[in-house]
A and B are shown apart, each in its own frame.
Chain A
Amino acid sequence: DAKTTQPPSMDCAEGRAANLPCNHSTISGNEYVYWYRQIHSQGPQYIIHGLKNNETNEMASLIITEDRKSSTLILPHATLRDTAVYYCIVRVGGEYGNKLVFGAGTILRVKS
């Protein structure tokens, strides 16, 4: 099973870009990288996912290295409401089908 490694916490100034790294050196060729976030007292929220190419949506951008062993989630203009725990997840296959396995994530604190 591919596992991910994230820094436990990061700070970012409001209005600046937040770059959240993730290492997944054992990822397999057909496994996607997913990012979710969890704001205090809420359930996790899907942000973005990708396989090989960089991806962008209205929430964030995902940059995946060419060897796919690491990725970076970019919030281009962080706001105070982006303060949350960010989870980098590699989809895990198995006997019962694919499922998400959450780690401890990165606590992002956006400060004014």
Chain B
Amino acid sequence: EAGVVQSPRYKIIEKKQPVAFWCNPISGHNTLYWYRQNLGQGPELLIRYENEEAVDDSQLPKDRFSAERLKGVDSTLKIQPAELGDSAVYLCASSLDRRTENIQYFGAGTRLSVL
């Protein structure tokens, strides 16, 4: 069974440019999460989806970050425009449903460098 797939693995952009990350969760998993991980710290939740609905986006900086999960499967996370402080690893995770939501399966992440 394939795990959570993220692309790209690495992205280097100049500040003020837009960037997008893509995530394909484990087949059949209804809940999808996006996290941001700064160097030397643990992951921080940005947004959580239940199927197509964003049920917790309280930590998502909405002035420049947006996310979508069309059809309740794949998801994209976008930053526009990117700032130097956005350099981090962006992780996607999925879980089967709310009852087991805390056993989350993570992708390898996208490492973003903003120059």
Contact pattern, B 34-49, Cβ under 8 Å of A = 1, otherwise 0:
0000001111110010
Residues of B contacting A97 in the complex (Cβ-Cβ under 8 angstroms): 55-56, 98, 101
Q: Does B101 lie within 8 Å of A102, measured CB to CB?
A: no
Q: Does A98 lie within 8 Å of B42, measured CB to CB?
A: no
Judge if B109 is at the interface, Cβ distance under 8 Å. Answer: yes
Contact pattern, B 4-45, Cβ under 8 Å of A = 1, otherwise 0:
100000000000000000000000000000000000111111
Determine chain A's interface SS by DSSP, over half rule: loop
Q: Does B48 lie within 8 Å of A99, measured CB to CB?
A: yes
Judge if B108 is at the interface, Cβ distance under 8 Å. Answer: yes
- With CB as the reference atom, state the residue of chain A lying closest to B3: A43
Q: How far, in angstroms, from A93 to B44 measured CA to CA in the complex?
A: 15
Q: Does B42 lie within 8 Å of A49, measured CB to CB?
A: no
Q: Does A102 lie within 8 Å of B44, measured CB to CB?
A: yes
Contact pattern, A 31-63, Cβ under 8 Å of B = 1, otherwise 0:
010100000011111100100000000000000
Q: Total interface residues on A, using CB and 8 Å?
A: 23
Residues of B contacting A100 in the complex (Cβ-Cβ under 8 angstroms): 45, 102, 104
Q: Does A43 lie within 8 Å of B40, measured CB to CB?
A: no
Selected contact of A42 from candidates B56, B93, B108, CB within 8 Å: B108
**What is the distance, in angstroms, from A8's C-beta to the closest C-beta of chain B?**
10
Q: How far, in angstroms, from A46 to B105 measured CA to CA in the complex?
A: 7
Known: A96-B55, A96-B58. A44 touches B43 (CB 8 A): yes
- B-to-A contact residues, CB < 8 Å: 4, 40-45, 48, 55-56, 58, 91, 93, 98, 101-109
- Top 7 A-B pairs ranked by shortest CB distance? A102-B42, A43-B106, A96-B56, A44-B106, A102-B43, A43-B91, A43-B107
- A-to-B contact residues, CB < 8 Å: 32, 34, 41-46, 49, 85, 87, 91, 95-105
A-B contact pairs, 21 of them (CB 8 A): A43-B4, A43-B91, A43-B93, A43-B107, A43-B109, A44-B43, A44-B91, A44-B93, A44-B106, A45-B106, A46-B103, A95-B58, A97-B55, A97-B56, A97-B101, A98-B101, A99-B102, A100-B104, A101-B45, A102-B44, A103-B42
